Amino acid sequence: MGPTISDDTQSDKGSSPPFTVRALGLKEPVERLRNSYQSAHPFPHLIIDDLFPAQWLLPILNDYRHRSDWQWKSYDTALQKKIGTAPNADLPDNIQRYFDFVYSGPFLRLLTSLTGIENLLPDPSLYGGGMHVVSGGGHFDLHIDFQKHPQTKLTNRLALLTYLNADWDSRNGGNLELWTVRPSARAVEIPPLFGRTVLMEQSKIAAHGHPSPVRPGLERKALIAYFYTNDATSEMKSTTVYVSRPGQSASARLQSALHNTLPTPMVRLLQKTRHMLKARMTQRLPGR
């Protein structure tokens, strides 16, 4: 567990400075940022560089060196190739401090001020969130996030992404893309620069992803948190929905169609079978 958070501060038990709302790098008035968020195209979002001081994020990168000790969930399909920390995983202290802070009362109230969304709720389990890493060749195709948390049944309203990629170049791949759905077209491209935070509204039209593969030898690292409200409806989906786009491979289109139409247990069975067959073929390769 991370340090206890008071009304506007978090006590400091490590080498990094205390986490406080007053220390955040908001370079414009909240009202102006809120107008920018609500009027953004193709759906409400906000890009804030250096929102979290580097002194907070650098210890997280230091913890990242010990990532082999973390609890990871791997994704390896034509639609996505990445790893992410598992829900309810035990995270290193500095990373847990970040999530404790963004799920604290003061930060939730700030998010309401920035977005106009009232009564936001945290998810301590970090379902779908946590630390995400995309290695060379990895990607995440165009998709719409789950509308409803599969366990709590709360409505997914906001995603907060903070990037940890020092000296990143937009030509390295892995840029976050925001798309319109009808017609399907890329509207915004966001390089995942160190210290850049993206606040993104979740809805049935919030199509996004990073379909351009990360350049070999590099890693794209991000901290992701979701925020909820208690107003879900029965028709809301608890799974990711993939969106077709120009230039998508035939394999990705097929997997997208299967994922979006088949029941979740069947999709998981097909993925498990695919991984087993791939593992067997790898074992039969010469020199193995």
The pTM of the full predicted model, rounded to 2 decimals, is 0.84
- 186 token code pair: 């890329």
Percentage of the chain modeled with pLDDT above 90: 68
> Which pLDDT score, from 0 to 100, does residue 8 have?
42
Q: How confident is the model at residue 13 (pLDDT cuts 50, 70, 90)?
A: very low
pLDDT digits (tens, 9 = 90+) for 104-149: 999 999 999 999 999 999 999 999 999 999 999 999 999 999 999 9
The 8-class DSSP code of residue 59 comes to H
pLDDT digits (tens, 9 = 90+) for 56-83: 999 999 988 888 878 999 998 889 999 9
pLDDT at residue 30 above 90?
Answer: yes
The residue ranking higher by pLDDT, 129 or 253, is: 129
Exposed e or buried b per residue across 249-274, where buried means at least 16 C-beta atoms within 10 angstroms of its C-beta: eeebbebbeebbeeeeeebeeebeee
> Which pLDDT score, from 0 to 100, does residue 22 have?
93
Query: Is residue 65 exposed (0-12), middle (13-18) or buried (19+ Cβ within 10 Å)?
Result: exposed
- Contact status, residue 148 vs residue 111, Cβ threshold 8 Å: no
Cα angle at 163 between 160 and 166, to 5 degrees? 170
> Which pLDDT score, from 0 to 100, does residue 11 have?
39
Domain ranges of the chain: 10-245, 249-288
Query: Is residue 89 exposed (0-12), middle (13-18) or buried (19+ Cβ within 10 Å)?
Result: middle
Selecting from 3.40.190.10, 3.60.20.10, 2.60.120.620, 2.10.70.10, what CATH number does the domain 10-245 have? 2.60.120.620
Question: What is the chain's Cα-based Rg?
Answer: 19
Residue in this structure with the two tokens 């794209």, named with its chain if needed? 220
